[in-house]
Amino acid sequence: MVASRRTGLTGLILAVAIAVTVSLPAPAVAAVPVAVTATVAAPVTSVTGGDQPTTAPAAPTAKERAKAKAKAKAKAKAKAKAKAKARAKAKARAAIKAAKKKAAAAPSLALGSKGKSVKRLQTLLRKNGYWLAKVDGKFGSSTQQAVLAVQKSTGLPRSGKVSRSVWLKLYLGKKPSAESAKGRVFEIDLSRQVMMLVVGGKVTTTFNISSGSNKRYYSQGRYHRAVTPTGSFKVYYQINKLHIGTLGAMYRPQYFLSGGWAIHGSPSIPAYPASHGCIRVSNAAMDYLWGKGGLDIGSKVVIHQ
């Protein structure tokens, strides 16, 4: 009977052990095959970044290389252009600053002035193409005509006197622009009241003028309008002396249109239109035009507003 009790106790213990074993969770070792399978299926990555494929990119084609080269060249060109533009702006600012400083130190001048300042003025006038008879340090009528040409060309008040503004325009090298682009042309701008000798589109010499006043006048039994015609003409006739016409004296006239229209010398060249229709220049300027100025038969004359 004791043996049977022992046998029963042993069976009970064994049954409990088996139950406990069955109820325990499965060991973690069972997950190992799954983890290994996931690792094998992952894509191969580079050793440097871990997120880029190790396959080398395809080499650029000749067309792609040419395109990249052209792009780099254009970028370099644009950069150089921007630098050049910046340098030009800086240079212009420096020039304006220097011109203002010089103009501020220059004296006011007028008819009758004399000395080094007048000589410097005359030198600047010639340098910028404004005609005057000579550089002699004396502010005479020829210098006054040149100053008027500066004032007319640059939009300054037409006083014939040299102010700081006139000095500044001269130091800045301000010149009138022309419409003629080819050939050798005597271009007359009625709105600015100047005549320019233009060669190949470049203004070489500028003269003060006075053209038709646009007023009515009476001559040879009827009324006329003092108008200067516009258009393109050629000198066709000239008189190499003081010619006394029906409307007054004309010094060494060169006619460009039948009916009496000419470029001629006069002792009176005001700052405004005052003639009967002809183009007046100073007598000294007319002498120059007959000589080195080259105004002659066949010379082209263009007149515009």
CATH number of the CATH domain containing 166 = 1.10.101.10
Distance separating alpha carbons of residues 50 and 41, to the nearest angstrom: 16
CA–CA separation, 225 and 193 (whole Å): 18
H helices within 128-163, ranges in order?
Answer: 141-154
188 and 157 in a common domain: no
Q: Is the pLDDT of residue 13 over 70?
A: no
Please report whether residue 18 resides in a domain. no
Looking at residue 57, its pLDDT comes to 77
Predicted pLDDT at 292: 97
241-263 pLDDT tens trace: 999 999 999 999 999 999 999 99
Please write the tens of the pLDDT for every residue from 29-52.
444 444 434 444 444 444 444 555
Six token digits for residue 79: 């950069």
% pLDDT > 70, the chain: 82
Q: Are residues 212 and 116 in the same domain?
A: no
**Which one has a higher pLDDT value, 21 or 114?**
114
Considering the domain architecture, whether residues 198 and 300 belong to the same structural domain is answered as yes
Quote the percentage of the chain above a pLDDT of 90.
Answer: 78
* pLDDT > 50? residue 3: no
What are the residues whose beta carbons fall under 8 Å from the beta carbon of 40, sequence distance 6 or more?
none
Residue 34 lies in a domain: no
**96: three-class secondary structure by DSSP:** helix
* Number of domains within the chain: 2
Q: Domain of 153?
A: 105-171
Asked if residue 73 is part of any domain, the answer here is no
Helix (H) or strand (E) holding 110: none
Query: pLDDT of 138-168, one tens digit each?
Result: 999 999 999 999 999 999 999 999 999 999 9
* Rounded mean pLDDT, 50-78: 84
Q: Give me the pLDDT at residue 54, please.
A: 62
Cα 106 off chain centre by: 28
Are 210 and 280 in contact by the 8 Å Cβ rule? The answer is: yes
Strands (E), 128-247: 184-189, 194-199, 202-208, 216-219, 222-225, 231-234, 237-238, 242-245
pTM of the model: 0.75
